[in-house]
Amino acid sequence: MARSPRDTTPTRASSGNGGELHQTASAPEARITTNHGVPVSDNQNSLKAGGRGPTLLEDFVLREKIQHFDHERIPERIVHARGSAAHGFFELAESLGEFTRAKVLTEVGVKTEVFTRFSTVAGGAGSVDTPRDVRGFAVKFYTREGNWDLVGNNIPVFFIQDAIKFPDLIHAVKMEADRGYPQAASAHDTFWDFVGLMPESTHMIMWAMSDRTIPRSLRMIEGFGVNTFRLLNDKDEPIFVKFHWRPKLGTQSTCWDEAVKIAGADPDYHRRDLHEAIAKGDFPEWQFGVQLLSQAEADALPFDILDATKVIPEELVPIRVIGRMVLNRNPDNFFAETEQAAFLPTNMPPGIDVSEDPLLQGRLFSYQDTQLSRLGTVNFHQIPINRAKGCPFQNLQRDGHMQTQVFKGRANYEPNSLSEAGEVGGPREDPVGGFRTAAISVADHKVRLRADSFADHYSHARLFFRSQSEIEQAHLASALVFELSKVTLEHVRNRVMANLVNVDETLAQRVAAGLGMALPKASKPAVAPADMEPSPALRIVGKYPETLKGRSVGILVSDGADGAMVAAVRAAVEGEGGTVKIVAPKIGGVTLKDGNMLKADGQLAGSPSVIFDAVAIILSEAGCQMLMKEGAAIDFAKDAFGHLKAIGHSAEAKPLLDKAGVQADDGIVVLGKSVEAFLAPARTRQWVREPNVRMLA
Ligand code: HDE
């Protein structure tokens, strides 16, 4: 029954569309209530003095709903604000029982639940997924002895050696304080100013300028614990340990121009990729490995393993793969899980311990502390995603904001003898099974200084650069040219360049040439760099498995296209575990040569080739003529070519490719009766094409 706007008779329940009265009662489990359980009769209209009158303060239903909405956002993480996460499990294949008593690392075959959050570092929560940036790789293991949070990155070293510089580093890299830009980008004055003045960051800069910071997918990044930790066995004997994650799909990256374009085409590229892969049962997987070294082995190395700006080459201390992690379930609710997840490097089960790495030591305070401003209460461990699930958690800490546990009895102190009177006495410490710290001797003077063993800032940077393949060296040099070309203060650029000379003079020369500047003299290093044996393990190009698994192929079609050819590409790609998306000028799809309809997954303008790993362009002659007038179609081919992707095409599509400037090479394949020839180049990137499509430094 429609109500006139002037009708002021009270209504019991009316729907939003047209104010029609409905008086059916809802079952208690199906009805909306206030936060306190009072059933709501009308969720469409606020309580007013008459249909056109002012809203009444009395309307507690409205006030409660708006007020809750007003407070929906919590402060985003000061770093790593932009993140995506998934649930899964960790499974141990080899026991480290000799070195640790942590059950998670000794119980072979046991599956431990995990929640893993990947992130960028510099951008805000709403920033894009593909800036040039380090990626966070934080894993929460819900072990039977409490949560273990391995809060790592996709790069094994860090910018600074001492936690006291972290706020400076982050202030420098985030948007500049006066102007509020750039967002999620390190290519600006303040970041490079900090870098130039902090030569200890040089090694990390090499990694940050490598292709590792423009990953193709979160499923294709490595993970590292970065800091050195310790394991402790039953006898409390310590051994140093470095933690590693290796993606089953290999470490793979985008091209820089591609990453920039993806940011516009799909700001959620990585989040969507992770979510869709898991939703379709294509579960991302990583090997878990450790590098173990005794105090004597650590002492024999020509660098200090407590210095987080140093890498322990695998060639010196091999990585022992002992387990795997599979992510197999998407979060149900982004806020409740991904946003409220609180990772703490201090979460360690008995048998795992920290080292004296001064960066790690600062982290031990920071993460617990930051949750208080982010999640607002000391009880953040009670939020379901943070709760220890593998075991009970109980102590005598009480009350506080948002306490959700209802403790019984009077035992909130210890020692107590309440059990002698038959009351519950509460939990007690466990000297045998409890967490114990390595009994390391630390007697020394109180000082504020950096150990001499931390003074070499260039040998590892040089090791990294010299270990890279030619392609990767060129990308690294070009990334430096790009970043430094955005620096407006000349003295800042000069200082960075003067440091670079200490890494490798040819690199510095290439960058200087790319910037069009004279190469300054080398800065004076605190310790002259030493040459180390190159470590090919630090490369990524040529190391990932060439497969369509995890890859996505976009097929651009027009009306009149050969449906059999489309079907053949689809069958071949999907048969090898890849994904196929049909792109058409209209989202309704196309009418194929045989008269059948083919639905599109994406419309051309919204589905550029940057979001695919390889493309097929299957057009009719008329379709090709039409699309040659469409900029998005030309860009589709041009970008696929420029981003070193395989292009399979129908003979009829050749004029479009010509117009896009696509030149013949092994990655450009005419699709005939068989699509086989397209598959090999589609499994990887055409690196050999690169010199033909862009000038690298
Ligand atoms: Fe963090 N870091 N960090 N960090 N970090 C945070 O904790 C901090 C460092 C890393 O997905 C914050 O809960 C200090 C190294 C990841 O929720 C904060 C120092 C590594 C994440 C914090 C470092 C990391 C964080 C912000 C220098 C690689 C995201 C929100 C001493 C091993 C975790 C939060 C997630 C998050 C402090 C250095 C990795 C402020 C003080 C080195 C992956 O506590």
**Among 343, 356, 364, which is best to mutate for testing ligand 1, by the most ligand atoms less than 8 A from CB?**
343
Tokens of 448: 């504020």
Beta-carbon-side half-sphere exposure of residue 356 (alpha carbons within 13 Å): 11
Q: Token match 């969507």: residue?
A: 272
Residue 359 CA: which ligand 1 atom is closest? Answer: 31
Q: With a cut of 60, say whether residue 385 has pLDDT above it.
A: yes
* Residue 166 labeled ligand binder: yes
* Residue 212 labeled ligand binder: no
pLDDT in tens, 143-169: 999 999 999 999 999 999 999 999 999
Q: Max CA-CA distance within the chain?
A: 92
Residue 224 CA: which ligand 1 atom is closest? Answer: 32
Number of H helices, E strands in the chain: 18, 18
User: With bands split at pLDDT 50, 70 and 90, how would you rate the model's confidence at 19?
Assistant: very low
> For atom 32 of ligand 1, which residue has the closest CA?
152
Contact 644, 693 (CB under 8 A): yes
Percent of the chain at pLDDT exceeding 70: 97
**Among 171, 306, 363, which is best to mutate for testing ligand 1, by the most ligand atoms less than 8 A from CB?**
363
Supply the pLDDT for residue 21.
53
Rounded Cα distance between 676 and 674, Å, is 5
* Residue 363 labeled ligand binder: yes
Residue 360 CA: which ligand 1 atom is closest? Answer: 31
Among residues 363, 386, 409, the one where a domain terminates is 386
| Distance (Å) from CA 341 to ligand 1 centroid | 13
Rounded Cα distance between 661 and 638, Å, is 7
pLDDT in tens, 407-440: 999 999 999 999 999 999 999 999 999 999 999 9
Beta bridge partners of 144: 146
Rounded Cα distance between 92 and 35, Å, is 43
Asked if residue 437 is part of any domain, the answer here is no
**Among 74, 77, 139, which is best to mutate for testing ligand 1, by the most ligand atoms less than 8 A from CB?**
77
The SS3 call for residue 474 is helix
Cis geometry, peptide bond prior to residue 182 (ω within 30 degrees of 0): yes
DSSP strand pairing (602-603 vs 579-584): parallel
> For atom 28 of ligand 1, which residue has the closest CA?
152
Give CA separation, 75 vs 124, 332, 372, in Å.
11, 21, 10
Cis geometry, peptide bond prior to residue 238 (ω within 30 degrees of 0): no
Mean per-residue pLDDT, 237-243: 98
Q: At what angle do helices 189-197 and 166-173 cross, to 10 degrees?
A: 150
> For atom 9 of ligand 1, which residue has the closest CA?
363
Among residues 334, 364, 386, the one where a domain terminates is 386
User: With bands split at pLDDT 50, 70 and 90, how would you rate the model's confidence at 673?
Assistant: confident
CATH number, domain of 687, equals 3.40.50.880
User: With bands split at pLDDT 50, 70 and 90, how would you rate the model's confidence at 674?
Assistant: confident
> For atom 44 of ligand 1, which residue has the closest CA?
367
Residue 77 CA: which ligand 1 atom is closest? Answer: 30
Our measurement of the distance from residue 360's CA atom to the centroid of its chain's CA atoms, rounded to an integer in Å, reads 21
On average, the pLDDT of the chain sits at 95
Q: Which domain holds residue 301?
A: 83-184+211-386
Q: Which residues contact 557 (CB under 8 A, 6 or more apart)?
A: 566, 582, 583, 584, 590, 592, 598, 600, 618, 619, 623
The SS3 call for residue 465 is helix
Asked if residue 162 is part of any domain, the answer here is yes
Q: Which residues contact 252 (CB under 8 A, 6 or more apart)?
A: 215, 216, 217, 220, 540, 544
Asked if residue 490 is part of any domain, the answer here is no
Residue 78 CA: which ligand 1 atom is closest? Answer: 26
**Among 78, 79, 347, which is best to mutate for testing ligand 1, by the most ligand atoms less than 8 A from CB?**
79
> For atom 34 of ligand 1, which residue has the closest CA?
367
Supply the pLDDT for residue 572.
97
| Distance (Å) from CA 184 to ligand 1 centroid | 16
CATH number, domain of 144, equals 2.40.180.10
Residue 117 CA: which ligand 1 atom is closest? Answer: 11
Q: Which helix (H) or strand (E) holds 117?
A: strand 111-120
Q: Which residues are catalytic?
A: 80, 153
Q: Which residues contact 452 (CB under 8 A, 6 or more apart)?
A: none
* Polymer length in residues for the chain: 697
| Distance (Å) from CA 138 to ligand 1 centroid | 9
Among residues 386, 407, 422, the one where a domain terminates is 386
Asked if residue 169 is part of any domain, the answer here is yes
pLDDT in tens, 172-184: 999 999 999 999 9
Supply the pLDDT for residue 25.
86
Q: With a cut of 80, say whether residue 22 has pLDDT above it.
A: no
| Distance (Å) from CA 360 to ligand 1 centroid | 10
> For atom 19 of ligand 1, which residue has the closest CA?
363
Pick the closest to residue 220 from 253, 267, 266 (CA basis): 253
| Distance (Å) from CA 141 to ligand 1 centroid | 17
Rounded Cα distance between 164 and 161, Å, is 9
SS3 per residue for 295-359: HHHHHHCCCCCCCCCCCCCCCCCCCEEEEEEEEEECCCCHHHHHHCCCCCCCCCCCCEEECCCHH
Rounded Cα distance between 276 and 282, Å, is 8
Q: What is the pTM of this model?
A: 0.96
Beta-carbon-side half-sphere exposure of residue 567 (alpha carbons within 13 Å): 10
**Strand runs labelled E in 144-249:** 146-153, 223-224, 229-232, 238-247
Domain count, the chain: 2
Asked if residue 178 is part of any domain, the answer here is yes
* Residue 117 labeled ligand binder: yes
Q: With a cut of 50, say whether residue 1 has pLDDT above it.
A: no
Report the pocket of ligand 1 as residue ranges, CB < 6 Å. Answer: 77-80, 83, 117, 119, 136, 138, 151-153, 158, 163, 166, 226-227, 308, 341-343, 359, 362-363, 366-367, 370
Rounded Cα distance between 212 and 541, Å, is 10
Contact 102, 352 (CB under 8 A): yes
What order do you get walking across the sheet with 614-618 strand by strand? 602-603, 579-584, 552-557, 614-618, 647-649, 668-670
ipTM of the complex as predicted: 0.98
Rounded Cα distance between 259 and 256, Å, is 5
* Residue 410 labeled ligand binder: no
Supply the pLDDT for residue 567.
97
Residue 218's identity, in one-letter code, is L
> For atom 3 of ligand 1, which residue has the closest CA?
363
Rounded Cα distance between 620 and 624, Å, is 6
Asked if residue 325 is part of any domain, the answer here is yes
pLDDT in tens, 625-657: 999 999 999 999 999 999 999 999 999 999 999
* Residue 77 labeled ligand binder: yes
Asked if residue 301 is part of any domain, the answer here is yes
pLDDT in tens, 64-77: 999 999 999 999 99
Tokens of 194: 């900090």
**Among 367, 372, 385, which is best to mutate for testing ligand 1, by the most ligand atoms less than 8 A from CB?**
367
Q: Which residues contact 380 (CB under 8 A, 6 or more apart)?
A: 340, 342, 371, 372, 386
Residue 226 CA: which ligand 1 atom is closest? Answer: 32
Pick the closest to residue 694 from 465, 503, 466, 481 (CA basis): 481
DSSP strand pairing (352-354 vs 229-232): antiparallel
DSSP string, 134-150: -EEEEEEEEEBTEEEEE
For the chain, the first-to-last Cα distance in angstroms comes to: 73
Contact 92, 110 (CB under 8 A): yes
> For atom 16 of ligand 1, which residue has the closest CA?
136
Supply the pLDDT for residue 24.
80
Supply the pLDDT for residue 4.
44
Pick the closest to residue 619 from 563, 689, 572 (CA basis): 563
pLDDT in tens, 657-667: 999 999 999 99
Question: What is the sign of the dihedral through the CA atoms of 537, 539, 545 and 546?
Answer: negative
pLDDT in tens, 254-299: 999 999 999 999 999 999 999 999 999 999 999 999 999 999 999 9
pLDDT in tens, 307-329: 999 999 999 999 999 999 999 99
Q: With a cut of 80, say whether residue 8 has pLDDT above it.
A: no
Asked if residue 41 is part of any domain, the answer here is no
Mean per-residue pLDDT, 398-411: 96
Residue 366 CA: which ligand 1 atom is closest? Answer: 44
User: With bands split at pLDDT 50, 70 and 90, how would you rate the model's confidence at 580?
Assistant: very high
